[in-house]
Chains A and B, each alone.
Chain A
Amino acid sequence: MQSFGVFAETFLQALTAGLLVGAIYGLMCVGLGLIFGVMRVINFAQGDFLMLGMYVTLYLVAGIALLPFQSSTAVPFVAAIVAGPILCAAGYLLHRALISRVTGTRAAGVEGEGHYAQLILTLGLSLIVQNGGLILFGSTPQSVRTALSSRAWEIPLRFNDTAALFLNQARTIAALVSIVVAVALYWIINRSRLGKMLRAAADNSMAATYMGIDVDRAHRIAFGIGIGVTAVAGGLVATFNPFQPYVGLDYVIIMYAGVVLGGMGSILGAYWGGMTIGLVQQLSTLVLPTQLQNATIFVVFLLIVLIRPQGLFGRASERV
């Protein structure tokens, strides 16, 4: 009975941790889902933009601290959200300057070649951002600490007097913020005129052009939004996990795993895919050593693409 109680407690603790981290993974997957799943552009540097989101958040928080206001515990979360539009603009410009040369209508018709060029080009970008980041930010791990990072809400468990569930406050708020951002994005994509325009351009670029839609512009906007959303997720992760310029590599696989798992082309699917990855990662710690946490994700990713490339939520892939 005693041992069951201990197990149940650790299990529940891992489950909550998985849900909390999964909520944020879900958001980063939604960002990539827009670029890769919907627009079918492969962006290898997505993880590095996530990393930039972390550093932008860090510097915004540091900047705000210099202002003569009473600092609030909400500052890091606000900074993470502000990092979104900043990197969205960067993504938009980057697409215009570089990515558009290997995607969209110009690369249409050379399906295979287009992807090859996208892969390599974004690998190059990734190397530049990572190592440029090393030059600019240094290799020392950073973190956006708040008072909440080391505080937890304690939820007593009924079956045992001493057992309790600890919810790290920073993680919990970050998870809530990411759910709000994801819902907002879902609304934009499904209900707004802009979202419909993007979906039409992704669904059938030729027909969209016949309707007067500038498909290249649609791609730029989607790329920008995708980068921005992932950057917000990065900023949120930064409030409880330390990071350095190479951190993007760990996340890029998480993101692709989530998007593929969720089914290509589905925003909702991408979110659930990311959530699932978070759960798998945290629950794996119950049976595997922590050092293998990340290895688990890579193995899960391989299993997903090899066994079910259409994704677990593949049926829903017709919907967005």
Chain B
Amino acid sequence: MLQIESLSVNYGGLHALSEVSLSVREGQYVAIVGPNGAGKTTLFKAISGMVPASGGGIRYQGRDLLALPPAERARLGIAHVPEGRQVFNSMSVLENLEIGAYPPAARTHWRRNLERIFTLFPVLAERRAQLAGTLSGGEQQMLAIGRGIASSPRLLMLDEPSMGLAPAVADLIFDRIGALHRDDGLTLLLVEQRVAEAVQSCDFGYVLESGRVALEGPNEVLLADDRIRKVYLGM
């Protein structure tokens, strides 16, 4: 479904990504882990078109993504739940979700998606008229994910959904993400710092370090590998 081949990204003389290759199959749950500054968010931004690639290619359902402007990519059914949530602070919860359903294809499924969002995150239903900027961090994260679901995605990309959240809230978020994969059959691409949560729940994982893929494999292989700890803690 998504095929990335030797993708490189440079930011003003800085190699953020060098020759990264990875693939996501339909219905798969793929996790990308790695310490801060490893290039995980850059990879997502390259897929969404927020940063230009300096080499390599990205194909999505057979189409060359790099040839499309960013807004077009979102309309192909790729939902990007960005790092730091990035909800529309000055708009209400419901308006945020409506904007999530901006792509034409999403509008036809609006009712069904809304119902699903509110079942997954009942608190959003309670707060539908509240401004997103006044929500707690966990609620904003739920809203950001809900906004992604509202777009009827075929591929849901989640960038550090647990960042800055209390452990209990993070657990709840991971649980719901798992449900989206299991029950709705969504294809997921997850970037995460919390290695165990990410690796345990995914089908296949990649470990990024300094802009390169340091390790890859199915989850049980990765879980058994102590190199992950080295990548993170240096000893």
Contact = CB atoms under 8 A, between A and B. Distances in A.
Direct contact of A and B (CB under 8 A): yes
Interface of A: 193, 196-197, 199-200, 203-204, 206-215, 265, 318-320
Interface stretch (B20-28, B56-64, B74-82, B212-220): B74-82
Interface stretch (B85-93, B112-120, B121-129, B184-192): B85-93
A265 B74 contact: no
Interface string B139-177: 000000001000100000000000000000000000000
B114 to A, nearest CB: 15
Contacts, number: 73
Contacts of A203: 88-91
Given A207-B82, A319-B131, A212 B89 contact: no
B74 A211 contact: yes
Given A209-B74, A212-B151, A215-B71, A265 B102 contact: no
A2 B49 CA distance: 74
Given A196-B95, A196-B99, A200-B99, A212 B90 contact: no
Contacts of A265: 90
Given A206-B50, A206-B82, A319-B131, A211 B99 contact: yes
20 contacts: A196-B99, A199-B95, A203-B88, A203-B90, A204-B89, A206-B50, A206-B82, A208-B88, A208-B99, A209-B49, A209-B70, A209-B74, A211-B100, A211-B147, A212-B71, A212-B102, A212-B151, A215-B71, A318-B133, A319-B90
B48 interface: yes
Interface residues of B, number: 28
B160 to A, nearest CB: 15
B98 interface: yes
Contact of A206 (B86, B102, B131): B86
Interface of B: 48-50, 69-72, 74-75, 79-80, 82, 86-91, 95, 98-100, 102-103, 131, 133, 147, 151
Given A211-B100, A318-B133, A196 B82 contact: no
A312 to B, nearest CB: 19
Given A210-B74, A213-B102, A320 B90 contact: yes
